[in-house]
Each structure stands twice: as structure tokens, then as C-alpha cells.
Amino acid sequence: MRVLLTGSSGWLGRTLGPALRAAGHAVTGLDVVPSPETAVVGSVADRALVRQVLGDHAIEAVIHSAALHKPDIERFDRQAFVDVNVTGTLNLLEEAVAQGVGRFVFTSTTSLMICERIRAGAAGGARAAEWLTEDSPVQPRNIYGITKLAAEQLCRLVHREHGLPVVVLRTSRFFPEADDMAHAIVQSDENTKANELLFRRLTVEDAARAHLLALERAPDLGFDLFIVSAPPPFSRSDAEALIADAPDVVARCFPGYPELYARRGWTMFDSIDRVYDPSRAAARLGFVCRTGFAQVLEALAAETSGQLTASL
Ligand SMILES: NC(=O)c1ccc[n+]([C@@H]2O[C@H](COP(=O)([O-])OP(=O)(O)OC[C@H]3O[C@@H](n4cnc5c(N)ncnc54)[C@H](O)[C@@H]3O)[C@@H](O)[C@H]2O)c1
């Protein structure tokens, strides 16, 4: 397929572009930042440019992953978030319909599911971890989440009114940099990321694979929205114990983990305040991450963790 990939110079785009080409697609990258993955330098907020790119390249499918996201909150005002994340998405959806594009994949975020109360976790008095599914009520806490939610709703609206097949992927975190120090193991970024694979992270390679599958399945699905995250080993009945004593719950799931962690000087978070449940993506999209906590433990046991977790 001839695919327009927005955000092609970004962290996800730089993995997704080559993955799309390896799967046989012809990819046109669009980004405000130049890179070898980006054929067209410009903004999704520029309607005329979007129209021209779709037409000039006879685009058959759009993967829209360009966005201002959480780290950009420091540098851009709310209007810029609305322009890029809301207007940009509307431009792509409406021009896709006008030009007969057959399918659309939108990269959203599990971050929009986190309100201040969930974020406060045990420190804020939570007695159980939040179990988050696609049906959980959402009340985004910042302009990033608010504009991503609005963009999701535009996807839903344009599908309903025009029939454009759209798959929305609410991905959990796959960024490489450290963040959210309240939850971090200060001594080791690898340790933090390994812990997060239990409940709120996936690798960028898995995020790219989810987009490829969504692209393939969009016409069968019509409209659908999925959480994509590494499979958590927990069940809902663990929610209270996860807040009270996460290491104990993890040890019940993976009896070998304390020794493997101790050998490397790693530690587990004391408390886990949320679990993103990707089971709908497994059941309906047929997508399950290849890398989860179990694979990290296998790598630790084989002492090849440097190699495995390099992509975390
Ligand atoms: N990184 C994560 O952990 C994470 C988690 C959940 C969802 N997401 C979503 O995944 C997508 C990709 O994230 P990423 O981590 O690769 O971010 P990134 O910042 O590395 O990439 C985003 C790209 O979008 C481009 N962009 C920004 N404004 C643009 C505009 N007006 N027009 C065209 N391009 C523009 C940027 O230049 C950048 O290259 C985003 O939609 C983000 O919201 C990311």
C-alpha cells in the first residue's frame, strides 16, 4: 500500500517507517523536522499541504503518529497543541475521506486515561491499583491528553459519518528517556523500564508492530480502539495487593524474579498504582507484545539483558 506516515522523524516514526517498508509498503513520511525517513517537511496543521501530499503520492492509507506530546507541554502553549493534535488530525481525516483513502490508523495514548486522582496513587490515598480498559471513564489531566481525546473523538465521528475505517491505538509508554521520577528507580533506567513492562510500557518495536497490524485489519474492524501495552501478569483481584506490596505480587507471578533482580542490584517499585489491560487488542486485533517482563527475566537469566533492554 502507499502509506502516509506522519511523525516520520520521531522516535516511533523512525522505527515504523522502515518496518512498513520491510512489509512491502511504499511510505511517504511527513514531519516538521527533516530526517532520512521524511520525504515531506511540513505540518499536519497545514490543510493545503495535507491535501497536496495525499494527492501527489496517491496515498491509500494514513498512519497518523505526529503530535505534540507530553514533553512538549513545557515548550508549547495550549493553542499549539490544539493546532497540531486536533486540527492536524481533522485535516488528515477529512482530506483522507475527500481523496478516497481506504484506511487510517491513529496513534493515541494511555496517558489520557490518567486523571490527578490515579496519578496520586498510594500517596494520594488509593487503596487499589486502577485497572484500566478501553471502557474506563476518562478525564485527561493536561492539554496533551485533552487534545488526544478530542482527536480520538474526531476519528470516531469521521468513521461514523463517512465510513472511513479507523483504528485508534492507545499506546502506553515506549519513550527511551527517563520520566515520572515518582515511579523511577533512580539508580537504573533499565530497571525502571523493566518494572514498567509489568503494567505501563511496551518496546518501540512492539508499538510499530501494533501499527502494522492495525493497518492490515482496519477495513475488517471499521472503527475500533485498543490499549496496546506489554501483557501484565496480574489479575483484577491483585489490585489491592499491588498498591500495598507490589514486590510480593510480582514474586507470586514470577518466583525467580527476586534472585535475578538481586544479582543485578535491581529493585521493584513498592507500589503499582495502575494496570493497562491490553486484552481487547489480543482478542480483536490479534496483537500481543513480543517483549514483556517475562522476556526481560529470561534475558537476565541468560545475562544478555544489555542487549535486550537496549531497545526499552
Ligand atoms: N513516546 C511514548 O512513550 C508515547 C506513548 C503514547 C503515545 N505516544 C504517541 O506516539 C506518537 C509518536 O510519539 P513519539 O514518541 O515518536 O514522539 P516524537 O516527538 O519523537 O515524534 C513525534 C513527531 O511528530 C512530529 N510533529 C510534531 N508536530 C508536527 C506537525 N505539526 N506536523 C507534522 N509533524 C509534527 C515531530 O517533529 C516528531 O518527529 C505521538 O502521537 C505520541 O502522542 C507516544
Nearest CA to ligand 1 atom 4: 173
Owning domain of residue 13 = 2-309
Grid cell, residue 41, equals 517537511
Span from the CA of 98 to the centroid of ligand 1 (angstroms): 25
User: Given ligand 1 and candidates 5, 8, 31, 64, which is best to mutate, with the most ligand atoms within 8 Å of its CB?
Assistant: 31
Span from the CA of 243 to the centroid of ligand 1 (angstroms): 31
Interior/surface letters 67-106, b for 16+ CB within 10 angstroms, e for the rest: bbbbeeeeeeeeeebbbbbbbbbbbbbbbbbeeebebbbb
User: Given ligand 1 and candidates 11, 38, 76, which is best to mutate, with the most ligand atoms within 8 Å of its CB?
Assistant: 11
277/254 Cα distance (integer angstroms): 19
Average pLDDT, the chain: 94
98 contact partners, CB below 8 Å, separation of at least 6: 51
- Greatest mean pLDDT among 113-117, 124-128, 224-228, 307-311 lies in 224-228
- Predicted TM-score of the model (pTM): 0.95
Grid cell, residue 293, equals 517482563
Other beta carbons within 10 angstroms of residue 139's beta carbon come to 14
The most distant pair of C-alpha atoms in the chain lies apart, rounded to whole Å, by 59
CATH of the domain at 285: 3.40.50.720
In the chain, the number of structural domains is 1
Nearest CA to ligand 1 atom 1: 175
Does residue 179 register a pLDDT over 70? no
User: Given ligand 1 and candidates 32, 77, 89, 170, which is best to mutate, with the most ligand atoms within 8 Å of its CB?
Assistant: 32
Whether 8 and 35 have beta carbons less than 8 Å apart is answered as yes
User: What value does the mean pLDDT take over residues 139-151?
Assistant: 96
Q: Find the residues whose C-beta lies inside 6 A of ligand 1.
A: 6-7, 9-13, 30-33, 43-45, 65-69, 84, 88, 107, 109, 171, 173-175
Atom of ligand 1 nearest to the CA of 171: 6
- Each residue's pLDDT tens digit, 236-289: 999 999 999 999 999 999 999 999 999 999 999 999 999 999 999 999 999 999
